[in-house]
Amino acid sequence: MAAPPASWFQLAATPPMGWNSWNQVGENVTERVVLTAAEAMVERGLRDASYTYVVIDDGWQAPERDGRGRLLADPVRFPSGMAAVAEAVHALGLKFGIYSAPGARTCAGRVGSRGHEHADAELFASWGVDFLKYDWCGAGPQTREYERETFEVMRDALIATGRDIVYSVADYGVGHPWEWGRGTAHLWRTTFDIWPHWGSVFSLLNQQWAAQRGSGPGGWADPDMLQVGNGALRALRTSATWPSGACSQRRCSPATTSRRHRQKPSTC
């Protein structure tokens, strides 16, 4: 597909906002962690402030595909299955996101989507997925053209499902995705991972001024998740990360949102 339809850009007319599991639990994500975070987003008013996506990052997959080549959720961590988890998230008035990678393996060594892009996209759609994070994870040479072509394979597969799925890609800024991200994805990572200390937050924020090209309704620069309630960040500095997201025209995904965190964040 040469270019996505105009309706595809409307899926991210504003920056998608929500919660992602990685900075809270890493690859040790479980069904209970996800649903607890989703419930907390509703209870604390985040859903009503437009934080509507609940995204499961790396670690949800079973070690291998089944005999028919289909991805499987880890049966211990997600005993109810992904369709049931998505249904529970949707019942809370939220949207459901999941993770994969364009290589044979993900960053955590789980099964990737290489050679199975269309089958995986159909599976995600059947589960009720609303958001896909697609993480490079050493999928090949990080040249601009190769990255773009690789990411567009999954973009086209998602569009072909007929389901509205926001598409987020991560090459960590290596291939300058701000030069080609618009039309390839709804979100493109501009940096390597953020860490829960102010030096990392400030460093990544400073990198954004040169990386905003093409960012606007339909496609957004993404300097990684907000570090809220994590690590060594003091309350004042944690609060300061929220307006920094607005300044950089980015999506906002707090990495920790649960009942045990008493701080009420401002909106972005």
The CATH number of residue 202's host domain is 3.20.20.70
For tokens 């994500």, the residue is 29
How many angstroms separate the first and last alpha carbons of the chain? 34
Q: What pLDDT is attached to residue 245?
A: 47
User: pLDDT below 70 — which residues of the chain?
Assistant: 1, 192-203, 206-208, 210-211, 226-268
Supply the DSSP string of 223-237, one letter for each residue.
Answer: ---B--S-TT--HHH
99 within a domain of the structure (yes/no)? yes
Residue 221, token pair as written in the block: 């620069």
Q: Is residue 266 part of a domain?
A: no
**Does residue 3 lie within any of the structural domains?**
no
215 with 203: CB under 8 angstroms? no
- Tell me, yes or no, whether 6 lies in a domain: no
pLDDT of residue 266: 27
Determine how β-strand 131-135 pairs with β-strand 187-189.
unpaired
Q: Is 256 contained in some domain?
A: no
Q: Answer yes or no: are the C-beta atoms of 229 and 256 closer than 8 Å.
A: yes
Residue ranges with strand state E in 34-87: 53-55
Task: Report pTM.
Answer: 0.86
Q: Give the pair of three-digit tokens for residue 67.
A: 């005999």
Residue of 40, 47, 36 whose CA lies nearest to 267: 47
Answer yes or no: is 223 within a domain.
Answer: yes
Residue 265 within any structural domain of the chain: no
pLDDT score at 48: 96
Structural domain tally of the chain?
A: 1
What is the residue range of 48's domain?
Answer: 12-247
For residue 4, tell me if it sits in a domain. no
Q: Which two tokens stand for residue 136?
A: 């490079």
Whether 112 and 101 have beta carbons less than 8 Å apart is answered as yes
Residues assigned a catalytic role: 135, 193
What pLDDT, in 10s, does the model give residues 51-77? 999 999 999 999 999 999 999 999 999
Instruction: Give the whole-angstrom CA distance, residue 9 versus residue 219.
Output: 7
- Reported as half-sphere exposure (CB side, CA atoms, 13 A), residue 225 has a value of 25
